């Protein structure tokens, strides 16, 4: 059975992608920082839960190791853990800068680093949740936007580096998605992208022929 590991899998886009992968027959591991939330989400989907904080290097390695030990391999890695803290650059507190860099970029790099040997074996996918904020100026979320721009760049580099191994990576760059993270926007639910829209992009990737890759998708 194919298997997938989803960080940030207890809610929002990560949970929507996990639900889609469950429907596609994948064995799932959901990882998230709060044990109660990830255990509840995993129970709903028949998945395995791992409480982990991707800002900690040891947790990044651990989630991949525990998934592979249980599932016997890894076909799809979904890096969905993320955090955004609003504020101008000149006002940003060091702890808020470090937290966004640690979760959105450093943690994503470390989880991917641990996963690459396994997705190489399965010629699998690395799905990185970036943001439309990484493609344009964003005065209110400058550090978040910078981390997402870095994720987009990293995704393109992963494609170039792992092309001969048959591993493909995609950076999904949605605008405002109907999740708690977007509540500050003031937009109504009807005006926002659904988490399931991002999941459908991943479903499309799973149906591509082996040589087809989609390095980046912007959803507006």
- Kindly state the DSSP code that residue 39 receives in the 8-state scheme: H
The one catalytic residue among 144, 145, 147, 205? 144
Beta bridge partners of 30: 6, 49
In this structure, is the dihedral angle defined by the CA atoms of residues 124, 127, 128 and 130, taken in order, positive or negative? positive
Q: Find out whether 178 and 193 touch, Cβ atoms under 8 Å.
A: yes
**Sheet containing 27-32: which strands, arranged edge to edge?**
48-51, 27-32, 3-7, 76-79, 125-129, 168-174, 216-219
3-state secondary structure of 32: strand
Q: What is the DSSP string of 152-217?
A: HHHHHHHHHHHGGGT-EEEEEEESSBSSGGGGGG---GGGSBPHHHHHHHHHHHHTS-TT----EE
Residue 144 appears among annotated catalytic residues: yes
Determine the angle formed by the axes of helices 12-23 and 35-45, rounding to 10 degrees.
30
Beta bridge partners of 193: 177
Q: Which residues are catalytic?
A: 144
């Amino acid at each position: 059975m194919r298997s997938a590991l989803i960080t940030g899998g207890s809610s929002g886009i990560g949970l929507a992608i996990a639900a889609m992968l469950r429907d596609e027959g994948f064995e799932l591991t959901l990882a998230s920082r709060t044990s109660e939330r990830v255990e509840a989400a995993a129970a709903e989907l028949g998945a395995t839960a791992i409480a982990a904080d991707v800002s900690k290097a040891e947790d990044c390695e651990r989630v991949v190791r525990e998934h592979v030990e249980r599932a016997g391999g890894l076909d799809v890695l979904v890096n969905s853990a993320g955090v955004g803290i609003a504020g101008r650059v000149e006002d940003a507190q060091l702890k808020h800068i470090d937290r966004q860099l640690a979760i959105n970029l450093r943690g994503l790099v470390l989880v991917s680093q641990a996963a690459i040997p396994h997705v190489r074996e399965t010629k699998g996918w690395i799905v990185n949740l970036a943001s439309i904020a990484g493609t344009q100026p964003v005065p209110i979320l400058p550090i978040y936007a910078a981390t997402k721009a870095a994720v987009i760049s990293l995704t393109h580099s992963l494609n170039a580096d792992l092309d001969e191994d048959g591993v493909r990576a995609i950076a999904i760059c949605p605008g405002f998605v109907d999740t708690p993270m977007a509540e500050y926007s003031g937009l109504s639910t009807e005006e926002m992208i659904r988490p399931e829209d991002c999941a459908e992009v991943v479903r499309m990737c799973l149906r591509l022929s082996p040589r087809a890759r989609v390095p980046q998708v912007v959803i507006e």
